[in-house]
Amino acid sequence: MGKDRHFLDQLLSRMTLEEKVGQLSLYSADVKLAGAETVNPALTFKAPESRFDDIRAGRVTGVFNGYGEDYVRSLQKIAVEQSRLGIPLIFGADVIHGFRTAFPVPLAEAASFEPELAERVAETAAAEAAAEGLHWTFAPGADLCRDARWGRVVESYGEDVLVASRFAAARVRGFQGGDLSDPRRLMATVKHFAAYGAAEAGLDYNTAEISRTTLIDHYLPPYRAAVDAGAGAVMTAFNDVDGVPASANRELLTGLLRDRWGFEGFVVSDYNSDFETVAHGLADSPREAARLCFLAGLDMCMQSGLYADHLPGLVASGEVEEGAVDRAVLRVLRAKQALGLFENPYRGLGRAFDPAPARALAREAARRCQVLLKNADGVLPLKAGMRVALIGPFAREHQHLNGAWAIFAANGLSVNLEEGFLAALGPDALVVEPGCGIAEPIAGGLDDAAAAARSADVVLLALGEGQHMSGESRSRSDIGLPPAQLDLARAVKQAGKPVVTLLRTGRPLAIPELAELSDALLVTWFLGAETGAAVADVVLGRAAPSGRLPMSFPRRVGQAPIYYARKPTGRPPQHPPGPFTARYIDVEPTPLYPFGYGLGYGRVEYGPTQVSVAELGWSETLSVSCELVETAGAAIEEVVQLYIRDVAASRIRPVRELKDFRKVAIAGGARVVVAFELQTADLRFAGEDGALIVEPGAFDVWVAPHAQAGVPARFVLLDRHGAEPPGVG
Ligand code: BGC
């Protein structure tokens, strides 16, 4: 039963309108989550008993953020055994970066520049969550973002369209695998469609003021990549796009997603975002909100109950056709069918999950996404036998290890820095002092910290953001280090010992003074379950840092949004900044650390970029290569990056665009040639009417270690001479 379309048509024919609308209504689980945080506003929370009545009456399609054998089994039993048609519930959840085992936050994962690592992590997270009865995750987020003030950059893959697209697609593959009915898999949701990351001024939920071509060239492709990878669901965004809130945006949900991209899964609102079209000023009543959202192409309401309240009336009045409701319901039922829920509504429950390999993978991932930004005099890795002072508000705490949206993983189960270094060094070589709180001084803290620093050979300074400083609704207008922490860094520096800063953060920070005070600067993000162990691995040289920045680090918040793929101006920035050029009079226009930047323990020198031909035929492939030499005699994993610039085009193109990247292992002293292929289709962009085009002419191309490095080679794309354009459109 349940395998064929016929079965679903039959089921549909037996459903009342109320039952149909029930399949379009998703509600929060009303249970307390493991993480102490509240992830959503309390809106329509009901007493659990009345939710049972709703399930029994077929008014609920599924619940989210509740899990576990007893919970899932008890609710599913009501749905399957006591509701009239026995349609199983779907259990969704925000499995964003791990389930019980917390993995690095997505921004950190992006810093690995290894989408295949993200795929393995997603697969593991899916298996752990599915064993507790979950079927569906609200991930991956595919929101491109360029403004570090926005708190949800922590959930993103950063500023680059190619990086975000590859990671979003990899995570869909990891969560879903090849067969959704496999009880170790979760159905994925691409969110938040669309342009949520373009929130003006970095203010969460704010309008996305964005040109059509920037939307097409930069913001849409990551969602598209995830859809093409087979994601089963799409979640709408809270923001408006060009004056129409995403949840009621017919052009986005139907014109683009369904008609042009061919998406066949279902579209779910974000938490109450459908209802919020009233507050947006689009709909003049909740009923009108329901009508607009439904007609735009929104299939399912999350938490608002909007369709439950208004869709039957809209059908009765003829404003909504019942056939359209049927199509939405079928999309939801097909997802439940693909998950195998009609055959086995209790899928996953009782399946054993071994957490040990998950912890090992968490440690591997956490090692591979740390980014070394500075390493004066080769202070890292630490020499054996050094006495270490671990100082700072993050040295000995258990509340800020996992980062935002690790709502099923207790921070207390994660290894903190002190534990990680104690295990590696033993108690005699380690002294630990907090020095200050995250935002406030501690009485006597600076003196104690300075004394600890003097007693040691090297200081590890654990500074940065608390878990509550990035994430949803956590935008910041100042992305510097809290003053109390900067005072600590200054006091510790006075001790005269080398200072290695371990920077915990969910976003790029503006930290020029801290960078100055630090001999070494290692970005450690929020790394999850194995934080302390993985940071110790890198600091002590058991693993080398191989992460690179997925977002530019500004010098000052006033530069935001700052990103490498900016459009050229007619008066480009100069170094040093000159009058009548694009400059600030009080800060250099460049980032403190550019996109793609990061060091290893070896050192790589890049030879000139070589192109296989100076003139490229329309349907030919260009090979772009570069010789790399490791010159420090230490093995390194280098993230080699391929950039282009379209020198002149009918719509001006960014000063650089990343077109490929690869992490390459190079032995100490070795020489390797790295080659990339470039096709005509890689050169496409949105033309005047929004259609993708490629224009012949000159292109610059770089193989480089980051977005500001290298000397370009040039090639000319020849006219097509009657040949068919490559796969664009
Ligand atoms: C967030 C979503 C999340 C949903 C359910 C919303 O506030 O924007 O990303 O999936 O809540 O928890």
The answer to whether residue 449 is domain-embedded is yes
Tell whether 47 and 167 lie within a shared domain: yes
List the alpha helices (DSSP H) in 112-249. 115-130, 161-176, 212-214, 220-228
The answer to whether residue 587 is domain-embedded is no
Q: What value, to the nearest 5°, has the Cα angle with vertex 57 and ends 320 and 33?
A: 100
Q: Can you give the pLDDT at residue 226?
A: 98
The answer to whether residue 433 is domain-embedded is yes
User: What is the rounded CA–CA span in Å between residue 511 and residue 504?
Assistant: 12
Q: Can you give the pLDDT at residue 236?
A: 98
Q: Can you give the pLDDT at residue 45?
A: 54
Tell whether 446 and 512 lie within a shared domain: yes
User: What is the rounded CA–CA span in Å between residue 468 and residue 486?
Assistant: 19
Q: Can you give the pLDDT at residue 722?
A: 54
Q: Can you give the pLDDT at residue 41?
A: 78
Token pair in block for residue 244:
């129409």
Examine the pLDDT at 429 and tell me if it is beyond 70.
Answer: yes
Mean pLDDT confidence for 193-200 = 98
Confidence of residue 2 (pLDDT cuts 50, 70, 90): very low
Mean pLDDT confidence for 319-326 = 98
Token pair in block for residue 613:
């031909």
Q: Please give the mean pLDDT across all residues of the chain.
A: 95
Mean pLDDT confidence for 102-114 = 98
Q: Can you give the pLDDT at residue 146?
A: 98
Residue 271 Cα to ligand 1 middle (Å): 6
Q: Nearest-CA neighbor of 418 among 392, 440, 445, 452? A: 392
CB 543 within 8 A of CB 524: no
- Per DSSP, what are the bridge partners of residue 660? 642
HSE, side-chain direction, 13 A CA sphere, residue 370: 33
Examine the pLDDT at 188 and tell me if it is beyond 70.
Answer: yes
Q: Which residues of 189-206 are buried (b: 16+ CB within 10 A; e: fewer)?
A: bbbbbbbbbbbeebebbb
User: What is the rounded CA–CA span in Å between residue 42 and residue 463?
Assistant: 33
- pLDDT tens digit string along 395-423? 999 999 999 999 999 888 999 999 999 99
538: domain CATH number is: 3.40.50.1700
Q: Can you give the pLDDT at residue 47?
A: 64
Token pair in block for residue 133:
């009865």
- Could you list the residue range(s) of the whole structural domain that residue 172 is in? 7-29+38-68+77-338
Q: Nearest-CA neighbor of 678 among 722, 655, 644, 712? A: 644
The answer to whether residue 511 is domain-embedded is yes
Residue in the structure block whose two tokens are 């093995």: 635
CB 532 within 8 A of CB 487: no
User: What is the rounded CA–CA span in Å between residue 210 and residue 238?
Assistant: 15
Q: Can you give the pLDDT at residue 31?
A: 61
Examine the pLDDT at 34 and tell me if it is beyond 80.
Answer: no
Q: Nearest-CA neighbor of 218 among 554, 662, 692, 548? A: 692
Q: Can you give the pLDDT at residue 289?
A: 98
Tell whether 511 and 615 lie within a shared domain: no
205 lines ligand 1 (CB under 6 A): no
User: What is the rounded CA–CA span in Å between residue 191 and residue 552?
Assistant: 23
- pLDDT tens digit string along 252-286? 999 999 999 999 999 999 999 999 999 999 999 99
- Which of 511, 546, 581 corresponds to the end of one domain? 546
User: What is the rounded CA–CA span in Å between residue 158 and residue 197?
Assistant: 10
Confidence of residue 51 (pLDDT cuts 50, 70, 90): confident
Assign 314 to helix, strand or coil: helix
- pLDDT tens digit string along 485-500? 999 999 999 999 999 9
Q: Can you give the pLDDT at residue 728?
A: 42
From residue 13, how far is each of 87, 311, 312, 345, 622 by CA, in Å?
Answer: 13, 18, 16, 21, 56
Q: How is 117-154 classified by DSSP, letter by letter?
A: HHHHHHHHHHHHHHTTT--EE---B------TTSGGGG
CB 405 within 8 A of CB 419: no
> Model's pTM, two decimal places?
0.97
HSE, side-chain direction, 13 A CA sphere, residue 161: 21
Q: Can you give the pLDDT at residue 172?
A: 99
Confidence of residue 1 (pLDDT cuts 50, 70, 90): very low
Confidence of residue 36 (pLDDT cuts 50, 70, 90): very low
Q: Nearest-CA neighbor of 563 among 540, 585, 587, 594? A: 594
Residue 463 Cα to ligand 1 middle (Å): 28
94 lines ligand 1 (CB under 6 A): yes
Catalytic positions, written as ranges: 270
The answer to whether residue 628 is domain-embedded is yes
271 lines ligand 1 (CB under 6 A): yes
Tell whether 408 and 285 lie within a shared domain: no
User: What is the rounded CA–CA span in Å between residue 476 and residue 469?
Assistant: 8
299 lines ligand 1 (CB under 6 A): no
Q: Which atom of ligand 1 is nearest to the CA of 141?
A: 9
Residue 237 Cα to ligand 1 middle (Å): 9
Q: Can you give the pLDDT at residue 46?
A: 61
472 lines ligand 1 (CB under 6 A): yes
- Per DSSP, what are the bridge partners of residue 641? 661, 704
Q: Can you give the pLDDT at residue 411?
A: 82
Q: Look at the chain and report how many structural domains it folds into.
A: 3
- pLDDT tens digit string along 508-556? 999 999 999 999 999 999 999 999 999 999 999 999 999 999 999 999 9
Tell whether 448 and 393 lie within a shared domain: yes
Tell whether 314 and 430 lie within a shared domain: no
202: domain CATH number is: 3.20.20.300
User: What is the rounded CA–CA span in Å between residue 191 and residue 212?
Assistant: 19
Q: Which atom of ligand 1 is nearest to the CA of 155?
A: 9
662: domain CATH number is: 2.60.40.10
Ligand 1 atom 6: residue of nearest CA: 271
Examine the pLDDT at 35 and tell me if it is beyond 60.
Answer: no
Examine the pLDDT at 367 and tell me if it is beyond 80.
Answer: yes
CB 341 within 8 A of CB 88: yes
Residue 302 Cα to ligand 1 middle (Å): 9
270 lines ligand 1 (CB under 6 A): yes
Tell whether 327 and 388 lie within a shared domain: no
Token pair in block for residue 570:
């007619």
The answer to whether residue 579 is domain-embedded is no
Confidence of residue 688 (pLDDT cuts 50, 70, 90): confident
Examine the pLDDT at 726 and tell me if it is beyond 70.
Answer: no
Examine the pLDDT at 148 and tell me if it is beyond 90.
Answer: yes
404 residue type, one letter: A
39 lines ligand 1 (CB under 6 A): yes
Residue 716 Cα to ligand 1 middle (Å): 46
Residue in the structure block whose two tokens are 């949701």: 189
Examine the pLDDT at 725 and tell me if it is beyond 90.
Answer: no
Tell whether 529 and 654 lie within a shared domain: no
Tell whether 331 and 379 lie within a shared domain: no
The answer to whether residue 651 is domain-embedded is yes
Tell whether 25 and 172 lie within a shared domain: yes
- For CA atoms 606, 609, 610, 611, give the dihedral sign: positive
Tell whether 327 and 384 lie within a shared domain: no
- pLDDT tens digit string along 578-620? 999 999 999 999 999 999 999 999 999 999 999 999 999 999 9
- Which of 546, 566, 584 corresponds to the end of one domain? 546
Q: pLDDT exceeding 90 applies to what percent of the chain?
A: 93
Tell whether 327 and 376 lie within a shared domain: no
The answer to whether residue 355 is domain-embedded is no
